[in-house]
């Protein structure tokens, strides 16, 4: 395993062990549930959007290391961003984890998920929280499924 891969692995394991912004958000004005039946990952994303800004974002759920770490890093990256910026980050993240783009220069810590593009089943784990975020922002009530 290369040094970079090992480093990335450590970031994912760390966020899985100690997820950031974990738990319900009482002042949330958007939330949605997501489910990935292929792996069994479940996530609920809570957002407090004020004006156009994601003032606070939290999540809870049970899932594999990739899905939990992805949700945790997502909350870190998106807090304080505008809704439009959050959508743009999701687009970039999605194109990297699905292998359509190999440029991670603007993704910061989210670059750790680039290796996921080699494992199509894992792409759903990595993007579950993001699809759920999008559903929360769009105000959809039903559970989002990756299928
Ligand atoms: Zn998973």
In the chain, where are the structural domains located?
2-145
CA 52 to ligand 1 center in whole angstroms:
31
Residue 44 contacts residue 34 (beta carbons within 8 Å): yes
Distance 61 CA to ligand 1 centre (A): 11
Give residue-wise pLDDT tens across range 72-110.
999 999 999 999 999 999 999 999 999 999 999 999 999
**Domain 2-145 top-level CATH class:** alpha beta
Angle between helices 65-78 and 3-17 (to 10 degrees): 80
Residues 2-51: tens digit of each pLDDT: 676 788 889 999 999 999 999 999 999 999 999 999 999 999 999 999 99
Tell how far the Cα of 51 is from the centroid of ligand 1, in angstroms: 33
Residues 6+ apart with CB under 8 A from 102: 96, 114
């Amino acid at each position: 395993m290369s040094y970079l891969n090992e480093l990335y692995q450590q970031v994912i394991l760390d966020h899985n062990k100690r997820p950031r912004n974990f738990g319900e958000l009482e002042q949330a004005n958007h939330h949605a549930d997501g489910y990935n039946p292929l792996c069994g990952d479940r996530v609920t994303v809570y957002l407090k959007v004020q004006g156009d800004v994601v003032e606070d974002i939290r999540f809870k759920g049970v899932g594999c290391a990739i899905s939990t770490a992805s949700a945790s890093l997502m909350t870190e990256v998106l807090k304080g961003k505008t809704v439009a910026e959050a959508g743009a980050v999701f687009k970039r993240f999605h194109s990297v984890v699905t292998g359509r783009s190999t440029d991670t220069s603007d993704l910061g810590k989210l670059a750790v998920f680039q290796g996921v593009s080699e494992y199509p089943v894992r792409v759903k784990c990595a993007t579950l929280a993001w699809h759920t975020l999008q559903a929360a922002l769009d105000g959809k009530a039903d559970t989002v499924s990756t299928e």
